Amino acid sequence: MRTLIYLFLLISPFMQSQERSLVWAEEFDGQKIDTDIWNFNKGLGHNNEQQYYTSRSKNIRIEEGLLVIEARKEDHKGSKYTSGRINTIDKKLFKYGRIEIRAKLPEGKGTWPAIWMLGENRERDGYPACGEIDIMEHVGKSPTEIHGAIHYPELDNKELNSSAKSFEIPSSEDDFHTYAIEWDERSINYFIDNKPYHSFNIDDAEREGRDNIFQKPFYLIINLALGGKWAGEIDDSIFPARFYIDYIRYYI
């Protein structure tokens, strides 16, 4: 009986995702990145990262129906590397539902691609007050693992709490995988290729005196960082390194 219950818990989120309605999609079928949806980040990265983000087509572009974020080894405004980062702040927000991204990760030590979200109050209240949902992170020094995480503050907005789990990347003929979360007022569940691997109980973020930060809208961020606190030493032989996004789909 316990086995049957466990199998139901694993299968039921996937079954629920099949009953959802597609309400928005970014298929990257145009000639250029749609600035009605996306903002370009420009400048140095955080967390001791080594890249300088630009909006140049050599760093971020649409190519054959794919968003391509390309990290390059080149001197640019005091940095030795360049890359790309975009976000949907003030243009596209998400609250609850299934967010699904099909992507191909770059290879090589020092790469740090991420698909993640911050609360819409980021610019007003700062971090970590806004909360963070990491749909997918990967570091090249651990090539077989992907990571999903939730970050949220204590009531003082200083101490940071986290809930994270790693999962071995399944085999794939073309190296593309589908990364997804399913989010409602109770939980945030993580999937890779429709296989569940992590779940966060939103009640864990409850703090008396404030609204739960995971019951408000978030915006989406996609970037390719280099080096820094987590990705570590960069292998200069890997460049150019490319992070490909096939599509983003949002279901409710």
Judged by DSSP in three states, 8 sits in helix
Of 49, 70, 100, 137, which residue is the catalytic one? 137
The predicted-structure confidence for 130-157, as pLDDT tens digits, reads as follows: 999 999 999 999 999 999 999 999 988 8
Quote the number of domains for the chain: 1
Q: Is the entire prediction scored with pTM above 0.85?
A: yes
- Per-residue DSSP letter, 238: G
**Among the options 132, 159, 185, 208, which is catalytic?**
132
The pLDDT-based confidence of 57 (bands split at 50, 70, 90) is very high
Condensed to tens digits (0 to 9), the pLDDT of residues 65-92 reads: 999 999 999 999 999 999 999 999 999 9
| Residue 45 pLDDT grade (very low, low, confident, very high; cuts 50, 70, 90) | confident
**CATH code at 127?**
2.60.120.200
Determine whether 233 is an active site residue.
no
* DSSP helix/strand/coil, 61: strand
Q: How far apart are CA 243 and CA 252, in angstroms?
A: 27
Distance CA 115, CA 147 (A): 10
Is residue 120 among the annotated active site residues? no
| pLDDT given at position 18 | 61
Structural domain boundaries enclosing 36 = 2-251
**Alpha-carbon radius of gyration of the chain:** 18
Largest CA distance in the chain: 62
Task: Band the pLDDT of 6: cuts 50, 70, 90.
Answer: very low
Average pLDDT, the chain: 93
Query: What is the per-residue DSSP string for 121-188?
Result: THHHH-TTTT-EEEEEE--TTSTTEEEEEEEEE-TTS-SEEEEEEEEEPPP-SSSEEEEEEEE-SSEE
pLDDT at position 11, please? 45
Residues 182-239 pLDDT 10s: 999 999 999 999 999 999 999 999 998 888 999 999 999 999 999 999 999 999 999 9
